[in-house]
Amino acid sequence: MTRTTPARQRGVAAVEFAVVAVIFFMFFFGILDIIRALYICNILQEVTRRATALAVNSDFSDASAMLNVRTHAVFRTGRGVLLFADPISDDYVKIDYLQIPASANPAPIGTSLPASPRQNRINCTSNPNAANCIQLVRVRICLPGGASDVCEPVPYQTLASFVPFSFSLPTATTIARAETLGMPPGVPRPMGGM
């Protein structure tokens, strides 16, 4: 005995599947986006750590050396986006050189950077609290552009546009003591300075 379904019931299975499929895919892509956001938050801290480790020993006055620091920090050998973390690229890696004034917290040096690592050694030897003595290197993940003392957080971009996540990624920050800053080997360190 064959059973026939009424004409009104024939499209119900397709409609039920469509409703369940939409909910399932929103849930599935939502979980993927949460996992990706956690990955990005974790990897941004590693990017700043790598950039700091390279920057403390790289010549800050050499633009190609600084570009090399940024690209290697995002695990690349050339310019480009950090894997699975679009839009983060080497442009988002912000390197600041800090002084330590005698009576205040570390402050960015800004436009009065020494001309070379050798000049920085001379400046720090004569006055460790001078405004043009690089003592610390700070690396942050910020939106490109903007003022040197401002770090705008990067907004998170979801994989799927229908997933309703809207938040900013943390401005991962790493600070380390300046080391050679690209000074050639064999040059003695000044006493009492860096």
Is residue 134 one of the residues assigned to a domain?
yes
Domain span at residue 20?
A: 13-177
Mean pLDDT is lowest, of 46-50, 61-65, 99-103, 129-133, for 99-103
pTM above 0.75, yes or no: yes
Residue with tokens 């971009």: 157
pLDDT beyond 50 at 194: no
- For residues 33 and 41, is the Cβ–Cβ distance under 8 A? no
Percent of the chain with pLDDT over 70: 88
Count: domains in the chain: 1
pLDDT beyond 70 at 57: yes
Is residue 7 one of the residues assigned to a domain?
no
Residue with tokens 């499209």: 11
Q: Tokens representing 20? A: 């369940």
Is residue 124 one of the residues assigned to a domain?
yes
Rounded distance between C-alpha atoms, residue 146 and residue 152, angstroms: 8
Residue with tokens 């460790």: 128
Is residue 194 one of the residues assigned to a domain?
no
- For residue 3, the model assigns a pLDDT of 67
Could you tell me which residue, 188 or 158, shows the higher pLDDT? 158
Span 19-35, average pLDDT: 89
Residue with tokens 């369940």: 20
Amino acid occupying residue 25: F
- For residues 156 and 128, is the Cβ–Cβ distance under 8 A? no
Span 109-116, average pLDDT: 82
Q: Tokens representing 39? A: 């990955």
Please, what sign has the CA dihedral across residues 38, 41, 44, 48? negative
Beta bridge partners of 155: 168
Is residue 57 one of the residues assigned to a domain?
yes
